[in-house]
Amino acid sequence: MTDWKLARHPTFAGVQGPVLIVVMDGVGCGASNEGDAVWLARTPTLDHLAKISLTTRLKAHGIAVGLPSDDDMGNSEVGHNAFGAGRVFDQGAKRVQMAIDSGEIFEGEEWKKLVRRVTETGEPMHFIGLLSDGNVHSHIEHLFAMLRRCNEEDVQRACVHILLDGRDVPETSALEYVDALEKLLLDLNEQGRRDYRIASGGGRMFITMDRYNAEWPMVERGWKHHVLGEGRGFKSATEAIQTLRDENPGMIDQDLLAFVIVDGDGKPVGPIRDGAAVVLYNFRGDRALELTRTFTEPNFAEFDRGSIPDVEFVGMMEYDGDLKLPPHYLVQPPAIDRTLGEYLARNSVTQFACSETQKFGHVTYFWNGNRTGMFDEAYEEYIEIPSDLVPFEQRPWMKAAEITDATIEALQRGELRHGRINYANGDMVGHTGDLEAAVVAVEAVDLSLGRIIPVIERLNGAVIVTADHGNCDEMFEVDKKSGDFERDTAGHLKNKTSHTLNAVPCYIYVPGNETLRLNDAVANPGLSNISATTLELLGFERPEGYEPSLLT
């Protein structure tokens, strides 16, 4: 039985006013060069914070956030899990890889049910997911392991519906992954006289992988291509990608138009029909929930699905523990409990969470341990600012001003003890690969911080300004051996659209306090240290098992 009572800190009563956490999404500590949008940006507020606050850097990738190795970039999901949980849990990528390595995934009843279904009906086993090794939403080796297992279990037909990345990996790297997949499919087809093939595809930001109900037409396009087999036809995925690139110069993988693979008669090779089995092999939840709903929700009303096939549908993991979506999944998710938000709610501490649509779920759902809704509405307020449906590089300031307006209003009411907000600019604009827009994005965040900090000062509060991972701190690809920027055959710098492995900044500003210092006993601090730091500033001791505070 959990003891939810927070003990008062023995030597520090906490600050008088509110304690606010500001997450500058995607703003890491880069190399201070011409590819570092954070360094290039005019940031008078951050520059001033560096002088007046307790300043450090936090690890935000790899083992520090529960990923398999330090070669794995951090992401917003695991970052906000770590912020809110106060300690590190094994995350999606690591849990899935462990389940595959041990064979657990294939020994479970859900996998066996899929195999039985297609064995009885003769319909294909369909796999839908992001085709890359970015290890943020999926990993290509997870798909390969399942395809090999299908061959071992005498599954005759399999179809893969590929979502092109170019966001967590280099922006025009799709053919590398398609070539590897085609090679495997050919090998399996020759080994067992199988019919394994790619059936449809498209860029992840054009079809299927919407999140937070921001743009349902993306999901509708995915449904029509993957399920109904409707769309522009090509003989192969390679032909589709090359043709669409030629027709749309400058279009990167994540935005590539959708396509369907057709046979010699122009008919789709892999529509999803009655009797099929479907695996959504992404392990991360935010961009998997909407397609999951489309397959599983009886009274679905977001768009007309047309003919709805009777299929066995599973996710790689459970994407929402409260909504129980999907009802069936292959790998158990991390059980994140005793979050900062729940402790505060159970101790009658008022909380405020705010971001725009693109990151609203991160300061609520992910922060609360993959839990939808509030712990106690009497003490919590969540505000979502609707995101604009325009390319982020065209409006790099996004909704920073509106988030700031809502936050200042909440702070000035005088009742708030803890707040957390997320500025999505550095991440969402960083993913576009547009350096100039990324610079503006960072400047927009800095401008907003310049409005918030004086309010914290007037209220005798405290503010922690940090980030969940890097992104816009590296806007060009870097050669790992030489350290120089990579260039294409024409000599142009290669844009980078993925997250980075860099640490993130952390500024802890407690106006008027001369007694707090950084805790030198905390070696290699990470995002999970933020919860205990927040509790200390509120005048509480950290709960058992929480990583220590950054302060002493």
DSSP assignment string, 168-225: SS-TT-HHHHHHHHHHHHHHHHHHHT-EEEEEEEEETTTTT---TTS-HHHHHHHHHH
Note the pLDDT of residue 449. 98
**Given pLDDT bands bounded at 50, 70 and 90, which one contains residue 313?**
very high
Question: Please, which residues bridge with residue 476 across strands?
Answer: 495
Q: Is residue 427 part of a domain?
A: no
Q: Is residue 516 part of a domain?
A: yes
Q: What is the DSSP letter of 267?
A: -
Choice among 76, 200, 448, 549 that is catalytic: 76
Domain extent, residue 497, equals 19-90+336-346+364-384+432-537
Average pLDDT over residues 524-548: 98
Distance between CA atoms of residues 164 and 39, nearest Å: 30
For 510-523, the three-class secondary structure string (H helix, E strand, C coil) is CCCCCCCCECCCCC
Final residue belonging to a domain, choices 308, 331, 354:
331
Q: pLDDT tens, 441-481?
A: 999 999 999 999 999 999 999 999 999 999 999 999 988 78
- The answer to whether residue 333 scores a pLDDT higher than 80 is no
Q: Is residue 62 part of a domain?
A: yes
What CATH number is attached to the domain comprising 49?
3.40.720.10
Q: Is residue 412 part of a domain?
A: no
- The answer to whether residue 322 scores a pLDDT higher than 80 is no
Same domain as 254, residue 322: yes
Q: pLDDT tens, 163-211?
A: 999 999 999 999 999 999 999 999 999 988 999 999 999 999 999 999 8
**Could you tell me which of 296, 241, 228 has the C-alpha nearest to residue 268?**
228
Same domain as 102, residue 76: no
Question: Please, which residues bridge with residue 48 across strands?
Answer: none
Same domain as 48, residue 197: no
- The answer to whether residue 320 scores a pLDDT higher than 90 is no
Q: Is residue 278 part of a domain?
A: yes
> What does each C-alpha distance from 533 to 13, 157, 317, 509 come to in angstroms?
13, 53, 31, 12
Same domain as 119, residue 63: no
Distance between CA atoms of residues 418 and 21, nearest Å: 8
Instruction: Determine contact, residues 241/174, Cβ cutoff 8 Å.
Output: yes
What CATH number is attached to the domain comprising 200?
3.40.1450.10
Same domain as 103, residue 68: no
Same domain as 342, residue 208: no
Q: pLDDT tens, 379-427?
A: 999 999 999 999 999 999 999 999 999 999 999 999 999 999 999 999 9
- The answer to whether residue 491 scores a pLDDT higher than 90 is no
User: Hey, which bits of 41-188 come out as E strands?
Assistant: 54-58, 125-130, 157-164
Instruction: Determine contact, residues 467/505, Cβ cutoff 8 Å.
Output: yes
Q: Is residue 61 part of a domain?
A: yes
**Could you tell me which of 253, 266, 258, 261 has the C-alpha nearest to residue 236?**
261
Same domain as 283, residue 305: yes
Same domain as 118, residue 265: yes
Question: Please, which residues bridge with residue 21 across strands?
Answer: 420, 464
- The answer to whether residue 277 scores a pLDDT higher than 70 is yes
Distance between CA atoms of residues 466 and 523, nearest Å: 18
Calculate the average pLDDT of the chain: 96
Q: Is residue 359 part of a domain?
A: no
Same domain as 112, residue 235: yes
**Cα angle vertex 208, ends 139, 444, to 5°?**
85
- Angle, nearest 10°, between helix axes 216-226 and 289-296? 60
Domain total in the chain: 2
**Could you tell me which of 177, 120, 109 has the C-alpha nearest to residue 154?**
120
Distance between CA atoms of residues 540 and 224, nearest Å: 53
Same domain as 52, residue 145: no
Same domain as 275, residue 211: yes
**Given pLDDT bands bounded at 50, 70 and 90, which one contains residue 324?**
confident
Q: Is 549 designated active site?
A: no
Average pLDDT over residues 113-118: 98
- The answer to whether residue 490 scores a pLDDT higher than 90 is no
Q: Is 315 helix (H, G, I), strand (E, B) or coil?
A: strand
Q: pLDDT tens, 68-114?
A: 888 888 889 999 999 999 999 988 888 999 999 999 999 999 999 99
Instruction: Determine contact, residues 160/181, Cβ cutoff 8 Å.
Output: yes
Q: Is residue 551 part of a domain?
A: no
Distance between CA atoms of residues 427 and 377, nearest Å: 30
Same domain as 60, residue 29: yes
